[in-house]
Amino acid sequence: MSAHLKDVFQRLYEAFGPQHWWPGESPLEVIVGAVLTQNTAWKNVSRALDNLREAGLLSLETLHQLPEEELAEWIRPAGYYRLKAHRLKNLLNFISEDFDGSLEAMFQVELGALRERLLGVNGIGPETADSILLYAGRLPTFVVDNYTARVLKRHAWMEPKADYYAIKEHFEENLDGNVALFNEFHALLVRVGNQFCRKRPRCDECPLQPLLPDGGPVEL
């Protein structure tokens, strides 16, 4: 990886350690969680997943049969629950119809092509698609989120106008397709963003503080 990103990664890893995102979870649980966590604190998502797990609903077939209004009630703690129930249904329908309900079959598809097909499902945007591909499919695609963009722009590592794809490519061109690294790096960026790079940043205590440009963080 490039010297620069290596430095960033090492500082984050030394400061926070491994984040073990979605370590032992089943691919299905990762997929459901990826939708539920859209603009939502993970704590709330976790409650919704607990509901589904305890009710014995965490299988593709069961979720696919479950009426949308019932699914909505189980995932209520995750917020936007009617919207997310609908989005989950769209995704479950896609997996059932296009891959006969087999996640293994789905992840056989070439990365770029599968990514485009996921984006074709209403409710699945770039970050959700990439989260599914990386964390459930273990395919080498980098996940970008608001924190990632904020951290990079505040440090002047990317232009303020850089969009999702510009940032995604910045990482992919410099990290050599290393899935384990993509996984950990994204999680660490969310961690540092969550703790230090909010709208009102606390750069003085941030482990990346020594890497700020002269003149301090870039205003956004």
- With respect to DNA, which residue has the nearer C-beta, 100 or 219? 219
Q: Contacting DNA (CB under 7 A), which of 27, 38, 142, 207?
A: 38
- With respect to DNA, which residue has the nearer C-beta, 2 or 93? 93
Largest CA distance in the chain: 57
Yes or no: say if 153 and 160 are a contact pair by the CB < 8 Å rule. yes
Q: How far is the CB of 108 from DNA (least distance, A)?
A: 22
Query: CA-CA distance, 191 to 184, in Å (whole number)?
Result: 10
Q: Contacting DNA (CB under 7 A), which of 41, 55, 105, 220?
A: 41
Q: How far is the CB of 63 from DNA (least distance, A)?
A: 17
* Cα separation values, 155 from 152, 159, 161, Å: 5, 10, 14
Q: Contacting DNA (CB under 7 A), which of 147, 182, 185, 196?
A: 147
Query: CA-CA distance, 97 to 141, in Å (whole number)?
Result: 24
End-to-end, the C-alpha distance of the chain in Å comes to 28
Q: What is the binding site for DNA (CB under 7 A)?
A: 21-22, 33-34, 37-44, 47, 76-77, 79-84, 119, 121-129, 131, 135, 145-147, 190, 194, 198-199
